[in-house]
Amino acid sequence: MNAIRLATLAGLVGMTLSTSATAGVADTPLPILDGKKSKHVYTIPGIVGSALLATAVTCTSLEKSKSARFTVQYFAAAGGPPENIIGVGTAIGPGETKVVSTEGTTLSESTFALANSNAPRSGRVVATSTKISCTAAVLERGLDGTLPSTSWSLTVIKKTKQNGD
């Protein structure tokens, strides 16, 4: 009887360890933004960043009277922990719109350059308020180095559930 309990316990520990090693967008602990708990608001697959491409995430606060903080966490294609360390996030006032991006643009409030950025990644918008609306686009630099010469939008998914699921 004790051998069965021990084997069951060992199996549960093994499953726990194996699932924590594959953490990613859905199961990585959420950051604290400026001393406040954050919430996973949106997921964005297909984020890229390189010398020629940048992903810009534009968010608008739908709060009527209070400010919030938000950020975008970037995850490698294989999953794992976020590639960027979050401090306080970007402050966003009621009705205000802010942009964060993977490469420097004249529009972005904050920038995080991705390492080995030819591989597509996923992103997670986290915020201290769920009253936030976001969109994402990949911007391609023109021959003169300016952004954008062309662009295309990325699907933004509410947390982990895409429309039609």
Domain that holds residue 150: 24-158
| Residue 98 covered by a domain | yes
- What average pLDDT does the chain have? 77
Tokens 């967008």 map to which residue? Answer: 25
CA angle 11, 25, 53 (to 5 degrees): 140
Domain count, the chain: 1
Within a domain: residue 151? yes
Task: Tell me whether residue 92 is in a domain.
Answer: yes
- Does 5 reside within a domain? no
- C-alpha angle 119-120-126 in degrees, rounded to nearest 5: 130
The residue type of 23 is A
Residue 153 forms part of a structural domain? yes
Write out pLDDT tens, residues 27-83. 999 999 989 999 999 999 999 888 788 888 999 999 999 999 999 999 988 888 888
Q: Which residues contact 16 (CB under 8 A, 6 or more apart)?
A: none
Q: Please report whether residue 16 resides in a domain.
A: no
| pLDDT tier for residue 103 given thresholds of 50, 70 and 90 | confident
2 falls within a domain = no
Alpha-carbon distance of 45 to 120, in angstroms, equals 8
Each residue of 107-122: pLDDT tens digit?
555 555 565 556 788 9
Whether pLDDT at 84 is above 60: yes
Decide if 12 is inside a domain: no
Least confident of 64-68, 97-101, 127-131, 132-136: 97-101
